[in-house]
Chains A and B, each alone.
Chain A
């Protein structure tokens, strides 16, 4: 029995179908991040878990108990809002303690709990101030204190960092992660920032247009995307996607990609069985920038490296990396090279492709072309075992080709 089970949940506002049957299950201690572009329904789903929006269809189970019609205050949840939603007429202590006060917790115990939460978040010296006297980061801490103090079963975060400046956002992100590790709480977190999702989550649910695109560990979602949308949405710089033709070359299945100075041919090593059916047809190939490198920094131990010579169109140094742009399959693609490599635009150089990390998509349906995954009957992730069980299969394929 999973801890939080969202079972075939729908949401309709009049004629608009906002959520179209969402199935997610997480365990106690999980950090689930709902990520997707704005309007994908992630905040609506969070509000439904909180009980602030009614569920049109489907079931919501917390700890095995159906909570569809339970009032928000009786669900044993706490929520941190994007605007912080602090009560301006109360002090910080009043804000943090309000939930306990409403639950008729005795004053002495309340003060103790407030003190403990304040210590945890390092805001003890702010307890007597009003929210208007606090900075953005301090307000964020108070909002978290208000959630922590009640020690609920489930924490909900609705884009809590989007009102902070870039530097503070990274700091608070680290702190939320530390808090999760230290307290072992179960968290559902909404964001549109895929980096936030990758760094924080133990489970990511990628959503688009009211539908769940993929549910899995951050690594699985990153390395083994279910479809073109997930591949393009997760990762920065995003995955390179080029059109390629699957053909047979000297008895091997290969992908042929058009390039200005002659086609590039890359052997198919991953999802080979499924791609057999695509022989002599076009597919969409995806390769992460870090899977295209200079030959010297290629990972030859785990990967399956194939080289090709291409002309450099643009060089973008970021300090830590050197991104090199080249033309392939009629598109600009990004390769991540060793910083300080003596490369300049117009020059031709060797590119090393790690074909073990290459993924292919159906250009029409945008669905992933992949081998049948040996189904691991995982009761916990009902409904989406197909997408969650993939973390291991990636490793298998890499192993075969090493």
Chain B
């Protein structure tokens, strides 16, 4: 109370200046150490001799060449390619179709939208377990059909090494389509209604109005949807663990399950680290240009 106003003002100003930094610094340090620190650590491990335990002797690119000559890694890469492509294309196409259908000013739109969106609220473990039961020939769909009297019905993709990856695609699409639909629906709602009226007067049939006028305007939504789906696909781990455990055999192995099994059950920490760094690089190659373009747009 006795301090002169100018001095008190100075102290408060200094506090205002330092308070945000003070509050943010613990989380900043934690993120720096646990995220970026361990990224660096993992990268180093991928160039070391590590096996069951970290071993810091430099091994050059030995782990990387072992990774690329591994047969399982080849399967994992092939699977992620098949899974990712089908997942992205199917989700985008189905999401767009559902959004267009929902956009026709139908009744109970709110309820339908929520129903389609709900799967996204489930964790991949729950989705994976539920679909595993549903597709399990001894428990789910096939058994139900048999008990209903359709004896010849057969749907055993889950235990068929050639088809198992597609069951994972089905479950993943079921989960993400609603979310992609919501993104497209928001995009469709942003389109000027007068433009559609103009196209009607111009004599364009509905499918051409969508094909020539509306869908080209949804380009930013397509970009966002594909980036979201692509990084979900590359990171996919829990769904596969819950549904197939990477099996039958290695039939549904993907880079994430590959990394997990090499790190924790096969005691090949170096190879696991190399595969992890590779996944990070792929995701970074996808996300960084996207973020860059997004940030540049919002700044201008």
A residues apposed to B, CB below 8 Å: 47, 50-52, 71-74, 77-79, 81-83, 85-90, 98-99, 102-103, 146
Known: A72-B201, A73-B200, A89-B213. A102 touches B208 (CB 8 A): yes
A97: shortest Cβ distance to chain B, in Å? Answer: 10
- Decide if A98 touches B217 in the complex (CB within 8 Å): no
Q: How far is the CA of A47 from the CA of B196 in the complex (A)?
A: 13
A-B contact pairs, 25 of them (CB 8 A): A47-B197, A50-B201, A52-B200, A72-B197, A72-B201, A73-B200, A73-B201, A73-B202, A77-B201, A79-B201, A81-B194, A83-B194, A85-B192, A85-B195, A85-B197, A86-B195, A87-B199, A87-B212, A87-B213, A88-B217, A89-B212, A89-B213, A90-B212, A99-B202, A102-B203
CB distance from B72 to the nearest CB of A (A): 45
Scan B173-209; emit 1 where CB is below 8 A from any A CB, else 0.
0000000000000000000101101111111100010
| Interchain CA distance A82-B195 in the complex, whole Å | 10
Highest count of chain A CB atoms <10 Å: which of B197, B198, B199, B203: B198
Q: Is B216 located at the chain interface by the 8 A CB criterion?
A: yes
Q: What is the total number of residues of chain B having a CB less than 8 Å from a CB of chain A?
A: 16
State whether A103 touches B194 (Cβ < 8 A). Answer: no
Residue of B nearest to A150 (CB): B202
Q: Mark B76-92, 1 if CB is under 8 A from A, else 0.
A: 00000000000000000
Name the distance in Å between B22's Cβ and chain A's nearest Cβ.
Answer: 45
Contacting residues, chain A, for B204 (C-beta < 8 A): 73, 98, 102
Q: Are A73 and B198 in contact (CB under 8 A)?
A: no
CB-CB under 8 A from A87, the residues of chain B are 195, 198-199, 212-213
Cα–Cα distance between A18 and B199 once the two chains are bound (Å): 26
| A87, B197: Cα distance in complex, Å | 11
Residues on B with C-beta less than 8 A from A86 are 195
CA distance A382 to B180 in the complex (A): 56
Most chain A beta carbons < 10 A, residue from B197, B199, B208? B197
CB contact between A79 and one of B197, B203, B208 (< 8 Å): that residue: B197
A89 contacts B216, C-beta separation under 8 Å:
yes
CB proximity of A136 to chain B, nearest CB, Å: 15
Nearest chain A CB to B188 CB, angstrom units: 14
The CA-CA distance from A78 to B200 in the complex, in Å, is: 10
Distance from A46 Cβ to chain B, minimum over Cβ atoms (Å): 11
* Pick from B198, B203, B212: contact of A103, CB under 8 Å: B203
Closest A residue by C-beta to B208:
A102
**Nearest chain A residue, comparing its CB with the CB of B198:** A85
B208 contacts across to A, CB distance below 8 A = 102
Given contacts A82-B194, A83-B194, A87-B213, contact A98 B199 (CB under 8 A): yes
Chain B residues lying within 8 Å of A98, measured Cβ to Cβ, are 199, 202, 204, 212
Give CA–CA (A47, B212) in the complex, Å: 23
Contacts of A78 in B (CB 8 A): 201
A73 to chain B, nearest CB (A): 3
Chain A nearest CB, measured from B169 CB (Å): 31
Residue among B192, B195, B199, B203 facing the most chain A CB atoms (10 A cut-off): B203
Q: How far is the CB of A186 from chain B (nearest CB, A)?
A: 16
Q: What does the 1/0 interface line of B210-230 toward A look like (CB < 8 Å)?
A: 001100110000000000000
Q: Are A81 and B198 in contact (CB under 8 A)?
A: yes
Bound CA span A90–B200, Å: 16
The answer to whether A83 and B197 touch (CB under 8 A), given A73-B202, A98-B202, A102-B204, is no
Chain B residues with Cβ below 8 Å from A74 are: 203
CA distance A83 to B193 in the complex (A): 10
Residue ID in chain A nearest B204 by CB atoms: A102
Could you tell me the distance in whole angstroms from the C-beta of A178 to the nearest C-beta in chain B? 24
- Shortest Cβ distance from B197 into A: residue: A52
B217–A89 CB distance below 8 A: yes
Using CB atoms, name the residue of chain B closest to A75.
B201
Rounded to whole angstroms, the CA-CA distance of A84 and B213 in the bound complex is 14
List, in ascending order, chain A residues with CB within 8 A of B194's CB: 81-83, 85
A74-B203, A82-B194, A89-B217 are known; give 17 further A-B pairs, CB within 8 A: A50-B197, A52-B200, A72-B200, A72-B201, A73-B203, A77-B201, A83-B195, A85-B195, A86-B195, A87-B195, A89-B212, A90-B212, A98-B199, A98-B202, A99-B201, A102-B204, A146-B198
Task: Report the 5 A-B pairs with minimum CB-CB distance, sorted nearest first.
Answer: A73-B203, A89-B216, A99-B202, A85-B194, A102-B203
Q: Give the nearest-CB partner of A89 in chain B.
A: B216
Q: Specify which chain A residues have a CB less than 8 angstroms from the CB of B195 in the assembled complex.
A: 83, 85-87
A155 to B39, CA, bound (A): 65
Residues on A with beta carbons closer than 8 Å to the beta carbon of B216: 88-89
